[in-house]
Structure 1
Amino acid sequence: MTRPASASLSPVPRTATAEVHDVIKQRILDGHYRAHEYVREASIARELAVSRTPVREALRELVSEGWLEAIPHHGARVVAWTEKDAREVFELRLVLEPMAVRLAGGRIDAERLARLEALAGRMEALVERVEADPAVRNEIAFLNHDFHRLLVEASDNLRLASVLESVVRTSVIRRNFGNYDLDNLRRSMRHHREILEAIHAGSPEWAEHVMRAHLLAAQALHVRPPEPGGDQTPDH
């Protein structure tokens, strides 16, 4: 469908609240703000040269999205990532992401597939530098997020992509590859390549099964299995 001519004349200007929101969220993702660290309204307003109103609104939005939590009489602080969070995220991803990849396998275009190939190659090269330069793990984590996001977007299912974006961005970015040794990282990269091979081969079901194996391997590194016969009471 052709967009109305007026829609392409100029981009919609971003509000101060949106700008502040994105800065704070990116700092959380980068690890600039740590778990349980307070994000101070006055400090942010002074640093970004804005009034306190857009900062207050941005903090409120980040609380509603789950990035921050409001502590009465103290302010907003970064939410800590718990094992319960990881367990819930993987429960969702194991259902939804293989489905998204199966859909993507039948709908992906050549341009997006080429971008996925490029991302896979960049991550593979970085993995071989991990032992000499552990800091590249963070770059791998961001590229990995982009890889998964592009795959999900290729499903051409906006609702599915929206749900998974909110889930994947926390599990893939906030939890970096600190739990992965070199063998784990190389296996993860092989999974990426096999997913792309399955798509090239025209087998969405193959791609779906590889994504499920990929997520199960990640889950094993991030979530402790329940003890046999143990108490299944959720974490608090």
Structure 2
Amino acid sequence: MAHHEASLHTIPPEPPRSADDVYTAIKDAVTSGQYGPGQYLREEQLAKSLGVSRTPVREALRRLDADGWVETRPNYGVRVKMWTLHDAREIFEARLLVEPYLAGRASLSIGASDIERLRTLADAMLAITQQPSTPESSEAWFTANSEFHAIITAAGNNARLDRSLRSMKETPLIKWTFGTYSDEDRVRSARQHFEIVRALEQRNAAWTEAAMRCHILAAESAVLDRREGERPPS
């Protein structure tokens, strides 16, 4: 991929005032795709765009590097991380270790209002699968799916594991993997959401954990098998 200078625009509606604000502003721009994989981020341009000095920008880029959002290349600069199949495998592996466990815990304490919201989201995602796929419908699916899983993991009552999982899911890689779903994959995923809701309703931890595990394994297969099949022969 050819490297190119970032075309930087003012990111937030108001200039950020702290290093944390700068960190969040740049991360949000990466998450939204405003800065694509391999795109270089220059301190001076970012500082001007954000209305701050270069010091908080430098600190923010260091944090983003440590968190895996960007990578520093000696003699070249800082660029948005270029995600690979290896990264996707690692995220699915981590999800399989954490998310089913939190789902099982959630079944023991999740409230009726949360279960009703989950059912509403599952209905919405199923309805989306019955329409032609468009960028708008894909975004609506992604938003609903993200909320669905966030409700469940938050109900697992382990804030540290939930934060870790949310951090992994914030990466642009998640949208990249979701973009590989076929219509059949989306229908299957939508139906699996209903099984997860049913298991939660029954307060059955083993069933909920198994349903979530199967859901993630199916997603992993859909994404990685297709991406590997697209690789040119070596």
Q: What is the aligned-residue identity percentage?
A: 38
Structure 2 CA distance for partners of 1:28 and 1:110, relative to 1, 3 Å: same
**Where in structure 1 do 4 or more consecutive aligned residues deviate above 4 Å?**
none
Query: Residue type of the partner of 1:156?
Result: N
1:173 partnered with 2:174? yes
Deviation at 1:176, TM superposition (A): 4.6
Structure 2 CA distance for partners of 1:198 and 1:55, relative to 1, 3 Å: same
CA distance in 1, matches of 2:83, 2:163: 21
TM-score calculated relative to the size of structure 1 = 0.81
1:162 partnered with 2:131? no
CA distance in 2, matches of 1:70, 1:54: 17
Task: Tell me which residue corresponds to 1:99.
Answer: 101
Structure 2 CA distance for partners of 1:25 and 1:127, relative to 1, 3 Å: farther
CA distance in 2, matches of 1:54, 1:19: 9
**1:18 aligns with one of 10, 17, 20:** 20
CA distance in 2, matches of 1:50, 1:125: 45
Q: Say whether the 8 Å CA contact 1:86–1:171 is kept in structure 2.
A: no
CA distance in 2, matches of 1:130, 1:16: 44
Deviation at 1:103, TM superposition (A): 0.5
Task: Tell me which residue corresponds to 1:80.
Answer: 82
Structure 2 CA distance for partners of 1:66 and 1:36, relative to 1, 3 Å: same
Task: Tell me which residue corresponds to 1:219.
Answer: 220
Deviation at 1:119, TM superposition (A): 2.8
1:124 partnered with 2:126? yes
Task: Tell me which residue corresponds to 2:48.
Answer: 46
Deviation at 1:91, TM superposition (A): 1.5
CA distance in 2, matches of 1:142, 1:40: 31
Q: Secondary structure at the match of 2:108?
A: helix
Deviation at 1:85, TM superposition (A): 0.9
CA distance in 2, matches of 1:49, 1:171: 26
Query: Residue type of the partner of 1:94?
Result: L
Tell me the C-alpha RMSD between the 2 structures.
2.3
1:209 partnered with 2:222? no
CA distance in 2, matches of 1:141, 1:183: 16
Q: Secondary structure at the match of 2:171?
A: helix
Task: Tell me which residue corresponds to 1:58.
Answer: 60
Q: Say whether the 8 Å CA contact 2:99–2:212 is kept in structure 1.
A: yes
Question: For structure 1, which segment, 184-193 or 44-53, has the greater mean C-alpha deviation from structure 2 after superposition?
Answer: 44-53
Deviation at 1:105, TM superposition (A): 0.6
Query: Residue type of the partner of 1:76?
Result: V
Q: Secondary structure at the match of 1:76?
A: strand
Structure 2 CA distance for partners of 1:211 and 1:167, relative to 1, 3 Å: same
Q: Secondary structure at the match of 1:33?
A: coil
CA distance in 2, matches of 1:38, 1:130: 36
Structure 2 CA distance for partners of 1:134 and 1:128, relative to 1, 3 Å: farther
Deviation at 1:50, TM superposition (A): 1.8
Q: For 1:11-49, what per-residue CA distance to the aligned partner results, in whole angstroms no more than 9, with x for missing partners?
A: xxx852222211211121111111111122222222222
Q: Say whether the 8 Å CA contact 1:36–1:78 is kept in structure 2.
A: yes
Question: For structure 1, which segment, 20-29 or 216-225, has the greater mean C-alpha deviation from structure 2 after superposition?
Answer: 216-225
Structure 2 CA distance for partners of 1:166 and 1:151, relative to 1, 3 Å: same
Deviation at 1:81, TM superposition (A): 1.2
CA distance in 1, matches of 2:126, 2:176: 19
Structure 2 CA distance for partners of 1:62 and 1:199, relative to 1, 3 Å: same
CA distance in 2, matches of 1:153, 1:218: 21
CA distance in 1, matches of 2:31, 2:214: 26
Query: Residue type of the partner of 2:152?
Result: L
Q: Secondary structure at the match of 1:81?
A: coil
Question: For structure 1, which segment, 75-84 or 216-225, has the greater mean C-alpha deviation from structure 2 after superposition?
Answer: 216-225
Task: Tell me which residue corresponds to 1:142.
Answer: 143
Q: Say whether the 8 Å CA contact 2:122–2:194 is kept in structure 1.
A: yes
